[in-house]
Structure 1
Amino acid sequence: MEAITKLATLGTATMLFAATWLTVNAQDTYRSAATQATIKGTSTLHDWDMTSSKGQTTASFIVEGNQVKKINTLTFIVPAESLKSDKSGLDKNAYKALETDKHQNITFTMTSGTIAATGSNTFQVRATGNLTIAGTTKQTTIAATGQFNPSDKSIAVNGSTKFNMTGYDVKPPTVMMGTIKTGDEITVTYSGKLMAQ
């Protein structure tokens, strides 16, 4: 009888431990259907930018208490023609350079990522993965800051990265029949609020 009681106690303790471990280390999926992305560049006349608020982000995090501890997956998709500037001529030439008739989306898929806490509910994330632009895929690393909101369990993120368009076989677009030329280097900034699913 004593052996059965001990076995039952051990089994109960094991189940409680397993339940606690699963709760603490639960992986949650987050999504944002309105991630904003802005491409900023230069030209021989003035700086320019194109913005889209139609980016879609999906990620999975491990959250303990109010702190994001780990990122397991991250994907981001933005329709190339949702990027708009205040100049239709620039947009038209940008879509041509991006070959949007054949490659409708700009995508990023993480292959590895790290989280570093910066406060009780804030963190820095570095994600390395495959960035595809105009059909060309290259490995790149993006960085962002994040904040976990305990009230609605959301995660706000924002960051930026720089790269050259020609690195993705994209010819920098021109305006006014080539009289205004854009620079090769661009900065991409991104921000969004991800909600637990």
Structure 2
Amino acid sequence: MKTHSSHSRISPLILLLCMQLFGAAAIAQVNYHSQNVHTTVSGTSTLHDWTMESKQGECSATFSTDASGQPTGLTAMRFTMPAQALKSEHSGMDKNAYKALKADKAPNITYQLTSATLAADGSIKCQGRLTIAGFTQDAELLATVKVNADKSITVKGSKKISMKSFNMEPPSFMMGTVKTGNDVTVSFELTLKK
């Protein structure tokens, strides 16, 4: 009889603890958003190196955080950028780049996270689906995550991409006399806010 009585006293306590744990887990998922994404695409050509930049694009992300608000993991992330937001110093180059990006049929460059590993030093390894020129493939992104004084999160990273792996033909200029290299480096920096 006493045993039954002690169980009835313990059960509500266990239930209360479980509810608190589940509540804490729910609070630990924090949504962030950014509409100020700085992206640079750089490459080579038979004439000179080149760079295109964009300050457009959107990124939404969900981080799991500890009690102090420090990110402990990245559970969701999606990035979208209009292909024609990329600009160089030469409009002729831009026109050929948009043609290579098939921007008329595939206006956006996107990345959809499938999984991520966030290390204690702030380095993050993302697995996801990258879509360029309407072609999608698995892609790993490496970046760093830094929490700022205002609790916003700055993310920086870069990735080398083969244009031909996305069924893109590297652009050429000046009636085909200047040809760009197949590999480009995409660098990005964004600040995410709650």
Residue by residue over 1:31-88, the C-alpha shift from the partner in whole angstroms, topping out at 9 and shown as x without a partner, is: 1011111101001111111111111111111011242111111111000000000111
CA distance in 2, matches of 1:75, 1:5: 50
Residue by residue over 1:122-162, the C-alpha shift from the partner in whole angstroms, topping out at 9 and shown as x without a partner, is: x111111111111111101001000123x432111000010
What is the identity, as a one-letter code, of the residue corresponding to 1:14? L
CA distance in 1, matches of 2:32, 2:77: 9
- Is the 1:66–1:148 contact (alpha carbons within 8 Å) kept by the matching residues of 2? no
Pair 1:39-2:41 in alignment: yes
Shift of 1:7: 4.6
With the length of structure 2 as denominator, give the TM-score of the two structures.
0.90
| Unpaired segments ≥5 residues, structure 1 | none
CA distance in 1, matches of 2:10, 2:109: 55
Match of 2:99 among 93, 96, 99: 96
Residue by residue over 1:2-37, the C-alpha shift from the partner in whole angstroms, topping out at 9 and shown as x without a partner, is: 988985675356335532543255211111011111
CA distance in 2, matches of 1:46, 1:75: 33
**Stretch of structure 1 that moved more, 63-72 or 98-107:** 63-72
Give the 5 Å matches for 1:106-145. 106-118=109-121, 123-145=122-144
Aligned-pair Cα RMSD in Å? 2.0
Pair 1:87-2:90 in alignment: yes
Q: Number of residues paired by the alignment?
A: 190
Q: Give 1:57's aligned residue.
A: 59
Query: 3-state DSSP class of the match of 1:54?
Result: coil
Q: Give 1:172's aligned residue.
A: 170
> Given the superposition, is the C-alpha separation of residues 104 and 194 from structure 1 closer, same or farther in structure 2, using an over 3 Å criterion?
same
What is the identity, as a one-letter code, of the residue corresponding to 2:127? T
CA distance in 1, matches of 2:10, 2:89: 69
> Given the superposition, is the C-alpha separation of residues 193 and 180 from structure 1 closer, same or farther in structure 2, using an over 3 Å criterion?
same
Query: 3-state DSSP class of the match of 1:71?
Result: strand
With the length of structure 1 as denominator, give the TM-score of the two structures.
0.88
Match of 1:160 among 138, 158, 161: 158
Q: Give 1:14's aligned residue.
A: 15
CA distance in 2, matches of 1:73, 1:128: 11
CA distance in 1, matches of 2:83, 2:43: 16
Q: Which runs of 4+ in 1 moved over 4 A?
A: 2-10
User: Which structure dedicates a bigger proportion of its chain to strand?
Assistant: 1
> Could you tell me the percent identity over the aligned residues?
41
Q: Give 2:24's aligned residue.
A: 23
Q: Give 1:194's aligned residue.
A: 192
